[in-house]
Structure 1
Amino acid sequence: MADPVGAGAGIVGVIGLAIQVTQVVVQFGMDWKNAPDDVKAFMAELGALKTVLSETNTNILLNADFEAAFQDQPSVLLSQLGPNAPSTTDTKRLLEICKKELESLLKELKKRGEGHQLGWGRFKSAFLAQDTRDSVENLCRQCQLLNSMLSIDAAVLGATTYKEVKEARKEQQEWHEAEEKISMAIRGGVDESNSRQENQIRKHQDQAILDWLTPIDYAPQQSDFISRRQTGTGQWLLDSTEFQSWLMTEKQTLLCPGIPGSGKTILTSIVIEELIMQFGNDKNIGIAYLYCNFRRRDEQKINDLLQSLLKQLAQGLNPLPDAAKSLYAKHINIRTRPTLDELSQALHAVAALYTKVFIIVDALDECLMTGSHRSNFLSRIFDVQEKSGSNLFMTSRHIPEIIEIFSGHTLLEIRALESDVRKYVDGNISNLPSFVRRSPELQEEVKTGIVEAVDGMFLLAHLHLDSLIGKRSPKAVRTALKSLPSGSNAYDEAYKDAMIRIEGQLLDQKGLAWQVLSWITCAKRPLTMVELQHALAIELGESSLDEDNLPQIEDMVSVCAGLVTVDEESEIIRLVHYTTQEYFERTKETWFPNLEAEITKICVTYLSFDTFKGGVCQNDKEFEERQQSNQLYNYASFNWGHHAREAYTSIPEVHSFLETDGQLQGSIQVLLVKKTHYLGESQYSRVFQNGLIGIHLAAYFGVEKTVQYFLGTYISDVKDKSDRTPLSWAAANGHEAVAKLLLANNADIT
């Protein structure tokens, strides 16, 4: 049966989308004057399409014969124009393709701008998708041809004198001669669009396989880190004999150990950028990298790391290699995950498809710290190297057991060179007070003082510069330079000094800084900027979020005395370094007493909001909209219990939340959907009628005080719809104290 979409409906839909694309930029506070040239060029094309469609819309609606053709009914006009006349089927097809592409563009723009103002760099990749640009161009060309045809037809029909008819017929003949070439181009565009759609389907299928391997993407971190490089720094590493030998020789391993804050991660990003610049366009060379992070240990187990390497190497090949496809086919339907041996075999197979492979791992010391996991991971990577000739580049702190594993391989120590520190200070000296910027002599004193104090620790240069920002006179700067912390306790002294500066701020600024630092320090995983905004806006006792209470990102960062930074690409707000995290973890009882209990209250207050009263969402779209509209929903659902368990106290707000109906089920849905979706199962198959109540969830998280509270209401063996008891949930998650409590209250172990 023919598609009943008419010209008017299709055209109006595309015009509406084109207008929305323009409006969404205004909505997020963008300024067209600052748009990149290629974005402006695309918007000009879109504007031309809007104009053409508006004209086409008028002409088509005035021509009943042509409108009928859009309904696949006989057209007298088209039948008279010969075999090469533009087809309304082609036009409908182009309308549909363009509509889908613009819908995708609009969705991506909204996603990228959600929650805060952004720069053009963040929007640019969404605008410049080639498929979208081609669709706009093809549709514009087809509609221009249709308009010309309708105009000439009207001229012929409206001619009254012989001269007018003769001129109109001549114009019509000329149009016919040009039309054949134009029509062939349009049909080629339709064929090309069909081919692109087939490729899009295949790409979508391939992407599903890659996402199944792992949803983790290290590319945003690479973009964030390399953007922090001061121009010219790190060149010593690229020019070194050790690196050049590693780069040019097969099956080489280069370990770069360094002290904390020496710049290992930025240097790693420089190495990755160098490899991409040299070999990024060579399809025979594979590049895969990992940024280990002690805050992400839950997603950086040995399987996760191997899956990430496999994903990166597989996605660099076209078509997707059979090793990845067969792994997916074997496990997806039975909802299992690949074993370590299967991952290793697949990694070997995919690496062998390249003539050369580079594998880069930053901060090896920050992951796989328990048992033999790290040595097992390295053993499997060395095995890949042996079979494929891969080159390995890794960084780490000076950990004896790691250094021992790399015995016999090339080592190159990383330190902050004096020349690099000078470049860094010189590039950031504009942040200092104006009296420093006006005095070359004082600038030189600042550079010399900081270089002497940092002693190979790049991070200290950043901290020392920030400590000078608030100084009021040259004397104050010189006094501070004389007392810059250095040596083994330099970081602790620098962090303590920063906290003293925070204490000296206005009351509201100090309070905001305390909230930001406490949340980032205590969070169970890295937080996005919008998640933290929502967390800080929650007011205990309220039943909804007041968006007027959202703090600005710029303020959240500026009040923290240089201890907090924002990764723009990944949207993560974090402490400047893992040594900062270590400092606050050692001293959090001093700076942030009762922190776990306070964060627990905020999480359960959020989950108790009226917006979650409806309970579980009934479909994918509703669930996705809930997550988009409630940015802390995921974090709070997954982590309130972990905070509550570590609070070691009874929290009434937790009891109230667990005694709700809809809100509790809405939170449980996040836990169940996450698990089932990752295994490839229908998202909602285990969500409905799960029968979980408050005591089950408290046992699941191991919150002993809360389980004890509910034992006054429920029997210890109360079962959910899967016949699981609180003891079953506690035991499955390793919560010994809760298991003992339940057994002491006559829980049945059978």
Structure 2
Amino acid sequence: MDPLSITGSIIAILQLSAKVLAYLNDVKDASKDRAQCEIEMSNLYSLLVSLRSRLEEGSASQPWYTAVRALASENGPLDQYKQALETLQAKMNDGSRLKKVGEALMWKFREEEVMSFLARIERLKTLIGVALELDHFKLSQAIKDETTQLRKQVPAIQSGIDRIQQNYDSTKHRALLDWISSSDYPAQQSDIISRKEKGTGQWFLDAPEVSRWLNEATTTLFCPGIPGAGKTMIAAIAIDYLLNTAQPGAHRVAYVYCNYKAQNEQDVFHLLTAILKQLVSGQPSTMEHIERLHRTHADRGTKPSLEEITVALRNVLDHCPPLYIVIDALDECLNDTRRQLLARLDDLRAGRNVSLMVTSRFIPDIESAFKAALRLEVRASREDVKRYISSQMYRLPACIQRDAALQDTVLVMILDAVNGMFLLARLHVDSLLDKRTTKAVKMALAKLTNDADALDIAYEEALHRMKSQPKGDHELAKRVITWITFAKRPLTTTEICCALAVEPEETELDSDNVPDTDDIVSVCAGLVVVDHESAVVRLVHYTTQEYFERTGDAWVPDGQLHIARTCLTYLCFDAFQHGACSTEKDYEERLRRHQFLEYAARYWGEHARAVEADIADQICIFVNSNALHCAVQARQFSWQTPGNRHYSNSTPLCEVACLGLAIVARTLASTTSGSFTSMVKAKANDNYSRTPLELAASEGHCEMVKMLLEYKADINAQHRTFGSALYSASSGGHEQVVQILLDYKADVNPQNTWNRPLHAASSNGHEQIVRMLLANQADVNAQDDVLGSALYAASASGHEQIVKLLLANQANVNAQTGTSRGALQVASERGHEQIVKTLLANKADVNAQNGRSSALCLASANGHEQIVEILLANKADVNAQSGRGSALYLASEQGHDQIVKTLLANNADVSLQGREGSPLYVACVNGHVQTAKILLENHAGVNAQGRFYSNAMHAAAYEGHTELLDLLITNSSSSLPQDYYGRTLLWLAAAGGHAATVEALIHKHNMDPRTADNLGRNPSWIAGKKGHGVVLKLLQGYDGEPNAGQAAASDRRYDQSRLLCDVCTSSIPRGVSYYHCDHCSGGDWNVCDDCIKCGATCMDTTHVLVKPTTFVNPADILMIRGM
């Protein structure tokens, strides 16, 4: 090695060291380890500068250079130190993120690892010091000892870095999952199943209907039951059985517990994202679908649309083993939510192995929806109730516990009274807790009944027990049940304890006035329970809520007023008079210190609306104080994504208008005189600039809308996002507000090309509003930038009656929309069969190619069998190409076997190439065995080339689809092919890490594990390089020893989420150099340094390979190209 080469190595190390030192110098809150690292690296840096100067001054002919060369030899001290720095740099996304990576390294390494790194620096300092002293022998010996020591430490250092990467990935994944959904149904499942008595529920698992549901694909099990029968526990038992009895990976489970107290939060979006979160959390390979959504929305502070979530779910389900979805208490959802959820689930289940179980009360429209499903009524079995009562005997008074005969009487009489309701058994047991004599027990038992009103009688008895307590306990119980009954969402134990501690006219919370959780439960006669996993306090059952809502005026007539006053008193505390926090960190600290703030800020207005006249003065004081801005910030932040939250200021009138507090608004008008008119016309001082009128209209507040119009509010004021008042009212389905605005001559045809009222009503299914707008000359064929035509919007959302209404009013059935698709295409894509029939009956063009995709292609891709048949019957072109391929190609890609058969029966061209290859090729890439069989039976070509793999066989080998590979080899008339680079099927299977496929190729198909590719590298080499230890060991057992290049490559660790080398299929980590061809594989062809060194080229030797200066994320490339 010449002096120039040695000097070059030192310069490279100096450059890398400078970057790390710059980071260490910037770190805040530094530890002593950081300081010591900075000092030692600085000292080493100085020595390296001195060595560089000595080399530049000297001559290569001097004897000194003979020894110094060893410092810079391959894998020598300088080289290994440089590799360590490069490894660190490879973990960095780019220069701007050096600090983040350094922080992970310094603060996540164990102390002994940090000391090891410092020791390495010290040893290298010693070597350089020896070199500068010109002690040749000592230098040579020291270098030899140091090299040995460094090699021993490489695995430990790599292990530490790998652990950091794993921790980072895990944290990142958790953050993404929380971003997509804040739900935590697993915690609820744990809490419910923990209350299960041993042995109960076995009748359900033994039922033949359950056996069929578990063992027959794509079945639906409907489990109705009377209130209190134990439906939720049965759902939990089913979930627990599915989670704990199957082999890992045999099937997946997703579930939701619907809750009457969370109806506003549990919309279709919430329920589907909760299912998506559960599926992805157990299948990290599908995380990319959430990452893609996050990249699109996070920086903008937006959330994905319902359609985007549905698409992501489809993609996850396409690569998911058999799935069981369990939905408990479907009847506790709002009617519209329920209908939409079932429609979405039907769409997602089409063509996929998804089984569904639903529990519900006996609701006619729900029973009708599941009339074709397996049906198993849930009733509390006598044996289960008996086990429960027996398990509770220890809680009962001593007079029962010491009298076996009385225990038998208790058991029998409660069993006879429950009438299939577990809840009654619980209430009856609780009713005996204060009966201290045998006579009192017998008298209580004599009152038990199994009449239709048995539950109400049990609740009345519980209320009587509460009233019989000391006055303080009775008052506390009333306030607890008031809060739980009227709260707008479930409260945590901390929240309700804070609420109970608020005192009228106080300006801070007295910690001495906060009750204990155990006390608030104990005074409520068994009607209140705590879910310990989620720390939520709730009533014992949905029927308890219904009972108190029905009878609330009698036992607590001022409940809403008490809650509204409490919220306002809390929000006016001195701690909130400074207004909004300036940073998100400060806000989080405020929320931590004041744990009732989020609830009070978010829901005070809803409680106040019911008692507005009684507290108008208190509301006016609040909205005119700085505390309003604190509350607005808390409300806004409650639905924004942590880390990307922004406070948007508001005005008193905007807040009052949004909440529909018309009395308060008139009070404000009377106190502000002439300035109120300007307040009416002023927009909120926020990012949205919404007017009071538009805010009131969006929430459907008729009186508020009338009042604002009386004060000359601009009825046609427009906003890019929220539109006009008429648009917002039409979108929200507020018919009365729409009529008021039309009476005031609101413009139904705004001049702008977005936010059109007719389109909003059509998209959201508000038929009566559509009629009203059409009657007022709304333009039926106007185009909206977002929603296209009104007909397109209604067709996309599946509103059949609105589609018919629009067509009857001369809507253009073949109008091209801003989305570049027509109504027929979007209806076919989303599976709206009746709308497809309606559109075709009105002469929709079945072969329209708007957006480069026909209706047949879209229906085929999404698995809508009936629609495919309808379109073909209407002369759809079976071989029409979309931007990705033909209908056959798209159906084969997704594994929709019945559609594949239908298309082939209608003369679909089996060899017609799509974007990635032939239909057979994409079926094999995605592992669809049955689809491949159908295509092969119809003479599909086994050797047709694909985009990323040479042909279907190579795709199946690399993806590890052993059964498919056997099928293809059996149907191949030629010898087993090698690809452009000479890679055999065995080589590709080894590259993919598929031991079963490797073994099958060797045993069944006699493939030689020693056969190398064109660059001289055999299957063992690639298995070793990519870290597939099981495959490597298997190949070595067949004399497939690694050949040249293996030793250097096997030490590399590749991140499987990065660019892939198209020659050896290994990942190319960030920061590592590689080469790129702008022509091959559609401009997405890359090759790693290792392959270049072995002589690799791209598929056309005339192309010039370029070395990118920065790493390009492949997902970004695809997104930029619109793929």
Give yes or no for the alignment of 1:734 onto 2:700. Answer: yes
1:439 to 1:633, Cα distance in 2 relative to 1, 3 A: same
1:139 aligned to 81, 99, 111, which one? Answer: 111
Give yes or no for the alignment of 1:683 onto 2:645. Answer: yes
1:316 paired residue number: 282
1:326 aligned to 292, 297, 309, which one? Answer: 292
Distance apart, 1:665 and its partner CA: 0.9
Contact 2:286 2:316 in 1 (8 A): no
Normalised by the length of structure 1, the TM-score is 0.76
2:270 paired residue number: 304
Contact 1:335 1:681 in 2 (8 A): no
Normalised by the length of structure 2, the TM-score is 0.52
CA offsets, 1:376-402, max 9 Å, x none? 321321232232111111111111211
2:40 paired residue number: 69
1:295 paired residue number: 261
1:478 to 1:186, Cα distance in 2 relative to 1, 3 A: farther
The code of the aligned residue for 1:400 comes to P
Give yes or no for the alignment of 1:384 onto 2:355. Answer: no
Give yes or no for the alignment of 1:702 onto 2:650. Answer: no
1:712 paired residue number: 670
Contact 1:4 1:71 in 2 (8 A): no
1:326 to 1:223, Cα distance in 2 relative to 1, 3 A: same
Q: Which runs of 5+ in 1 are unaligned?
A: 15-56, 61-65, 77-81, 95-130, 151-175
Contact 2:254 2:325 in 1 (8 A): yes
Contact 1:254 1:411 in 2 (8 A): yes
1:172 paired residue number: none
SS of equivalent to 1:361: strand
1:202 aligned to 169, 181, 184, which one? Answer: 169
* Structure 2 Cα separation of the partners of residues 69 and 406 of structure 1: 72
Distance apart, 1:179 and its partner CA: 13
2:238 aligned to 246, 251, 271, which one? Answer: 271
SS of equivalent to 1:569: coil
Structure number with greater CO (CA < 8 Å, separation at least 6) is 1
CA offsets, 1:488-528, max 9 Å, x none? 11111111111111111111111111111000011011001
1:698 to 1:310, Cα distance in 2 relative to 1, 3 A: same
SS of equivalent to 1:319: helix
1:540 paired residue number: 504
1:83 to 1:368, Cα distance in 2 relative to 1, 3 A: same
* Structure 2 Cα separation of the partners of residues 243 and 716 of structure 1: 66
1:258 paired residue number: 225
Name which of structure 1's ranges 730-739 and 266-275 shifts more when overlaid on structure 2: 730-739
Give the alignment of 1:503-652 within 5 angstroms. Answer: 503-651=467-615, 652=617
Please identify the structure whose Cα radius of gyration is greater: 2
1:407 aligned to 371, 374, 388, which one? Answer: 371
Distance apart, 1:481 and its partner CA: 1.1
1:558 to 1:187, Cα distance in 2 relative to 1, 3 A: farther
Contact 1:348 1:388 in 2 (8 A): no
Contact 1:260 1:457 in 2 (8 A): yes
SS of equivalent to 2:408: helix
1:68 to 1:200, Cα distance in 2 relative to 1, 3 A: closer
Distance apart, 1:428 and its partner CA: 1.6
Q: Percent identity?
A: 37
Distance apart, 1:337 and its partner CA: 4.2
CA offsets, 1:689-741, max 9 Å, x none? x2x33222111111222112111123144123255443232112211122123
Give yes or no for the alignment of 1:364 onto 2:330. Answer: yes
Distance apart, 1:316 and its partner CA: 1.9
* Structure 2 Cα separation of the partners of residues 451 and 409 of structure 1: 31
Give yes or no for the alignment of 1:354 onto 2:320. Answer: yes
Q: Which runs of 5+ in 2 are unaligned?
A: 1-17, 48-75, 89-103, 123-143, 717-1123
More helix by share: 1
* Structure 1 Cα separation of the partners of residues 208 and 586 of structure 2: 57
1:197 to 1:647, Cα distance in 2 relative to 1, 3 A: same
1:445 paired residue number: 409
Distance apart, 1:619 and its partner CA: 1.0
* Structure 1 Cα separation of the partners of residues 356 and 663 of structure 2: 49
The code of the aligned residue for 1:260 comes to P
SS of equivalent to 2:627: helix
The code of the aligned residue for 1:384 comes to L
Distance apart, 1:202 and its partner CA: 3.4
1:105 paired residue number: none
Contact 2:113 2:157 in 1 (8 A): no
Give the alignment of 1:169-188 within 5 angstroms. Answer: 187-188=154-155
CA offsets, 1:556-575, max 9 Å, x none? 10000000000111110000
1:499 paired residue number: 463
The code of the aligned residue for 2:570 comes to Y
1:106 paired residue number: none
CA offsets, 1:76-127, max 9 Å, x none? 9xxxxx979x99x99xx99xxxxxxxxxxxxxxxxxxxxxxxxxxxxxxxxx
Distance apart, 1:189 and its partner CA: 3.7
2:840 paired residue number: none
CA offsets, 1:400-454, max 9 Å, x none? 2111111221101110011101111111221111222222222222111111110
Distance apart, 1:480 and its partner CA: 0.8
* Structure 2 Cα separation of the partners of residues 393 and 646 of structure 1: 38
Contact 1:251 1:391 in 2 (8 A): yes
Give yes or no for the alignment of 1:479 onto 2:443. Answer: yes
* Structure 1 Cα separation of the partners of residues 44 and 288 of structure 2: 47
Distance apart, 1:744 and its partner CA: 3.4
